[in-house]
């Protein structure tokens, strides 16, 4: 089985964005109370949004299940307040739940959290519990910069995050560290802000004792770990100079990288440098880069092809394609078993 740990619902039916646009417009009118309202999308619209995109690519590329979450760039936690983010997150998460219910063999849910700048992360616990306990989700996306490129929140190792982390540990769900869009003109969202956030989070983890405090806490750093594998020597050297544990020890049970690196040489470096136990297959399709690489004739984000071509033994390949996802997102095991049983496999 091949589990893609990194997919967003970037192709959601237009009604979702129409609702969001109306919500944002209403923020300008202080007389209007924030309203949850409804998003009217039919099952057929959901099917249509996926059949020609994520489902088609799963079939064509040969992956089985996608760990699926709301569109990351649309989370935009910097807009409005905590209620704004809660209403928006609930709609986005409910829609992911409908996707997973319609296609239980193809998608397993991960939730968007209703973060808001300056608001304690503990306020997100309710929505996390709802998504895990009621909707059957298996993880969350955690935004280390709810301000959208101004980086006004404390580092991920700050104790203000701990109540949320304790809930994650209790529920046995990991978080993918994933920023959203940037409202800072310096940072292109998918070309700079995403990658910078990955690098930033890793260095925060390196310099603090977060995983001593919470040994069962697990993070996936997407986009191949940002700049980290390329600069692995720098990070090994910094860890040594700072008298921190060796990187292998630091990340072993707590920090994992996905394979969203869109060329063979990058994937080869990742697989060579990072222990196979800490790599999860991911593609982010349909996501940041949508074109076909003229050098290969294949989609840039068809990351399975790079891994197929890489020098990997069968055991490591199985870990990366399946076993590590089952280890890091353990709730997926029950989903896949129940799904298979229900369909008589």
User: Rule CB under 8 A: which residues touch a copy of itself?
Assistant: 144-145, 149-151, 153-155, 158, 184-188, 190-192, 195-196, 199-200, 203-204, 206-207, 223-224, 226-227, 229-238, 240-241, 261-263, 265-266, 268-269, 272-273, 288-291, 293-295, 300-301
Return the number of the residue (132 or 228) whose C-beta is nearest a copy of itself. 228
Smallest distance from a copy of itself to CB 338, Å: 36
Say which residue the tokens 């895990």 belong to.
132
Residues facing residue 268 across a β-bridge:
none
Cβ nearer to a copy of itself, comparing 265 with 341:
265
We find the least distance from the C-beta atom of residue 167 to a copy of itself, in angstroms, to be 23
Distances (CA, A) of 290 to 195, 240, 285, 293: 17, 39, 8, 9
Query: Packing angle between helix 43-51 and helix 54-61, nearest 10 degrees?
Result: 40
Please give the order of strands across the beta sheet that includes 111-112: 111-112, 140-142, 175-177, 219-221, 255-258, 279-280
Which residue number, 162 or 300, has a Cβ lying nearer to a copy of itself?
300
| Catalytic residue from among 60, 166, 284, 295 | 284
Backbone dihedral angles phi then psi of residue 79, each to the nearest 5 degrees: -85, 130
User: In angstroms, what is the minimal distance from the CB of 334 to a copy of itself?
Assistant: 34
Residue 23 CB, shortest distance to a copy of itself, in Å, is: 28
Residue 48 annotated in active site: no
Residue whose pair of structure tokens reads 């998460």 in the numeric block = 93
Core vs surface per residue 310-331: b (16+ CB within 10 A) or e: bebeeebbebbbbbbbbbbbeb
Q: How far is the CB of 200 from a copy of itself (least distance, A)?
A: 5
Active site residues: 284
């Amino acid at each position: 089985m091949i589990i893609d740990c990194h997919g967003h619902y970037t192709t959601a039916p237009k009604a979702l964005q129409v609702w969001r646009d109306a919500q944002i417009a209403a923020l300008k009118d202080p007389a209007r109370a924030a309203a949850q309202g409804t998003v009217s999308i039919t099952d057929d619209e959901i099917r249509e949004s996926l059949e020609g995109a994520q489902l088609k690519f799963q079939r064509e590329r040969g992956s089985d299940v996608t760990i699926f979450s709301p569109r990351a760039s649309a989370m935009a936690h910097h807009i409005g307040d905590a209620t704004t983010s809660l209403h928006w997150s609930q709609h986005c998460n409910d829609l992911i739940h409908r996707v997973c219910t319609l296609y239980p063999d193809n998608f397993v849910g991960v939730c968007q959290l209703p973060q808001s700048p300056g608001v304690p992360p503990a306020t997100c616990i309710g929505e996390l519990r709802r998504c895990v306990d009621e909707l059957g989700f298996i993880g969350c996306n955690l935004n280390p910069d709810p301000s959208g490129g101004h980086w006004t929140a404390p580092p991920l190792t700050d104790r203000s995050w701990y109540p949320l982390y304790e809930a994650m540990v209790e529920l046995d769900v990991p978080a993918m560290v994933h920023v959203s869009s940037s409202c800072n003109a310096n940072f292109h969202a998918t070309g700079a802000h995403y990658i910078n956030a990955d690098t930033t989070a890793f260095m925060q983890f390196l310099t603090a004792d977060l995983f001593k405090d919470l040994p069962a806490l697990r993070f996936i750093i997407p986009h191949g770990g940002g700049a980290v594998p390329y600069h692995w020597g720098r990070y090994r050297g910094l860890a040594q100079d700072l008298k921190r544990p060796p990187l292998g020890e630091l990340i072993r049970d707590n920090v994992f990288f996905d394979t969203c690196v869109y060329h063979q040489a990058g994937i080869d470096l990742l697989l060579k440098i990072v222990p196979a136990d800490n790599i999860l297959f991911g593609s982010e399709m349909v996501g940041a880069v949508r074109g076909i690489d003229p050098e290969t004739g294949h989609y840039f984000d068809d990351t399975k092809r790079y891994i197929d071509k890489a020098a990997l033994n069968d055991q490591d390949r199985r870990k990366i394609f399946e076993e590590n996802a089952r280890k890091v997102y353990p709730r997926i095991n029950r989903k896949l078993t129940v799904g298979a049983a229900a369909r008589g496999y």
